[in-house]
Chain A
Amino acid sequence: MSRFGATVLQHLSSSRASSLHNREPGQKSISFTGAASVMSDQGIQPGVPGAAPVQRRRFVEVLLGSGFMATAVAFIYPVLRYLIPPRTIDVGSDSVVAARVGELKPNSGKIFHFGSRPGLLVLTAEGEYRAMSATCTHLSCIVQYRGDLREIWCACHNGVYDLNGRNVSGPPPRPLESFDVQVRGEEIFVRRRREA
C-alpha cells in the first residue's frame, strides 16, 4: 500500500535528480520550505550509501502511502454511502404515507406524522378512509377518534368534530383541515388539499 503511493510519486516525475534549472553544484537550492538546506545540514555524506537514507526513504514512503489511502478512504467512503438512497422516501411536504392497508380496523383511528405536525387517519365503520389535521383548532391539543361516538373528540376541553372535520360541539372555533386520502397498493397516502 505504501509502496503503491511511493511508486505513484516516482512515476510522476521523469527525472528526480535535477529538480532545479541552472543551479551550480554545491549551491544551496531555493525551495519554499528551505528543506533542502536543512537536509544538507543534517550531514549526509556524499558517496556513502548508509542506513540513514534508506530508513528515511522507507519512512517517507510508508507515511505517504498510508496517508494517501487514509484520505482516499475518508473521501470515497462518504461519497459511496451518499450515493445509496436512504430507506425513507422523500415525497415532499405535500404528501405522506400514513399507514398500510390492514393496519386499521374499521371504526378506528390512527395518529400519523405529517412533517412535524400530527394528522388523524380514520377508517369508518362503513370502510371509508378519512384524514384530517389532528391539531384541535381551540388550543392545539391532539384530537382522537371516538369509535363509540363515531366522531372526533378532543380530550382537553371536550371539543367534538364530525367525520368531515367540521366543529360541531364545544369550544373549537374552526373545522379541522381535511386531507385527501389515496390508497395505492398496500400504502395509504395522505395529501394536502390543493386549490384548483
Chain B
Amino acid sequence: MSPATVVRKWLDDRFDWDGLLAPFRKKTVPLHRLSYWYFLGGITLFLFVIQVLTGILLLLYYRPGPNEAFESVQYIMTQVKFGWLIRSIHSWSANLMVFTAFAHMFSVFFLKAYRRPRELTWLSGMVLLFLVLGFGFSGYLLPWNTLAFFATKVGTEITGQVPLIGKAMMIFLRGGDEVTGATLTRFFGFHVAVLPGLATLLVMLHVLLVQRLGISVPPKVEAEWIANPNLRREMKFFPNFALREAIAWYIALGVLGALAAVFPWDLGVKADPFISAPAGIKPEWYFLFMFQTLKIIPPRVFRIIDGEVLGVLAFGAAGAIWVLLPFMERSARSRKWVSAIGIFALVFIIGMTIYGYIAK
C-alpha cells in the first residue's frame, strides 16, 4: 500500500473521511456557454485566503498607533526580507478581491442564480460584499499616510451625513469627533478581528449553501435543457472542474505576483493631522462612483433638500433595493424590470468610476 492510501485509511477510520468526501465526489458543475462565470466565486475565495495569509504575516510586524504605524510599514517594506512582496501582494490582492467580488455579484445577478431556493445565498453574498468593502475601507487607513488619512476623513464625513443616526455612526467609526490615533486603533480592530470573524462565518455559510443547493443554471439554458434532456451537460467537480479552478487560481497568483513586483505599493508620506488636505483627494476606486455622484449632486435640491444627504440616502435605498431584488421577481414582467435595473446599475457604476478618475 502506498503511503497516501495508508493515511487515507487511517483518516477514514476516525473521521469517516470517505463519507465526508462522498458528496464532493458526486458534485457536478453545469456546462454551457456561460459556465466561465462560475470561476469568479472561487477566485474571490482564493484571494480572501491570500489576504488572510499575508495579513497574518503583516501582523507579525505591523504596529497600530499614529506614532508607529507608518514607521512599521516602512520597516516592513525596507528592512524585513520580502516584506515589500508580502505587503504589495496584500494591497493588490485587496483591490483584485473587491473587483472579483463585484464581478461575481453581477454575474450571479445577470445569470439569475439568486432565484428560489438560493435567496439566502444571495443575501449572505451581499453581506459578504459589504464586509469586503469594509475590509477595504478599514485596511486603507492602516499605513497612516496622508492619502489614507484624508480619504478616511472624507469617507467618515459622508457617513455623518445620514440623517438622525449619521453623527452617532461617524463618532462610532472615528472613535471621536475627528480622525485621530483612536480611529486607527478602532479600524485596526475592525480589520483584523471583527470583520474576519464575521466574514469567515458568512463564507462558511455561503459555501455550505452552494454545496447543498448545487450550482444554479441560467433560466434560458434551463429551459433548453428541459425541452431537450439530451443537451444537458455536466462536469464532475473532482477532478475536472477543480483542476480548472486550480489553473485559474495559479494564474491569479501569477498576476498578483507580477503586480506586486512591477507596481509595488507606495509608502506615501506620513499623515499629519494638522496640514490642509492635499488637492484632489479621492477615495479608493471602489468608492469612487459614490464619491463622484455625491460631488455632482447640487448642494440644494429643489431648494429645500440638502444635496449630500439626499445622495447618501439614495445610495442607502439603492443598496437596500439591490439586496431585496430577488424577492421582487414574481412574474416575467418584473423579471425584465429587475434585469433592466441591473444593467442600469452596472453602467452607472462603471460610468461614474471612469468619470471620477478623469474629473479633476
Contacts and interface: CB of A to CB of B under 8 A. Distances in A.
Whether chains A and B associate is: yes
Interface of A: 7, 9, 11-14, 16, 19-22, 30-32, 71, 78-79, 81-86, 88, 90, 92-94
Interface of B: 2, 4, 8, 25, 28, 31, 35-36, 57, 60-61, 63, 67-68, 71-72, 75, 79-83, 85-86, 232-236, 238-240, 242-244, 250, 253
Contacts of A14: 25, 238
Given A22-B232, A90-B72, A78 B82 contact: yes
15 contacts: A7-B4, A14-B25, A19-B239, A20-B240, A21-B236, A71-B250, A78-B85, A78-B86, A79-B82, A84-B81, A88-B79, A90-B79, A92-B68, A92-B72, A93-B68
Nearest to B18: A14
Contacts of B67: 92-94
A78 to B, nearest CB: 4
A86 B71 contact: no
Given A30-B233, A71-B250, A90-B71, A13 B238 contact: yes
Contact residues of B: prevailing secondary structure: helix
B239 A21 contact: no
A20 B239 contact: no
Contact of A21 (B28, B82, B83): B28
B31 A30 contact: yes
Given A12-B239, A79-B57, A93-B71, A22 B80 contact: no
A32 B235 CA distance: 10
A48 B67 CA distance: 73
A81 B82 contact: yes
Nearest to B244: A32
Contacts of B57: 79, 82-83
A86 B28 contact: no
A94 B67 CA distance: 8
A65 B309 CA distance: 59
Nearest to A71: B250
Closest 6 CB pairs of A and B: A13-B239, A78-B82, A81-B81, A90-B75, A86-B79, A82-B82
A184 B308 CA distance: 56
Given A9-B243, A32-B35, 14 more contacts: A7-B4, A19-B240, A21-B234, A21-B236, A22-B232, A22-B234, A30-B31, A30-B233, A81-B82, A82-B80, A83-B60, A86-B80, A90-B71, A93-B71
Contacts of B72: 90, 92
B129 to A, nearest CB: 27
A95 B75 CA distance: 14
Contacts of B4: 7, 11
Nearest to B82: A78
Nearest to A77: B82
Contact of B235 (A7, A13, A20, A79): A20
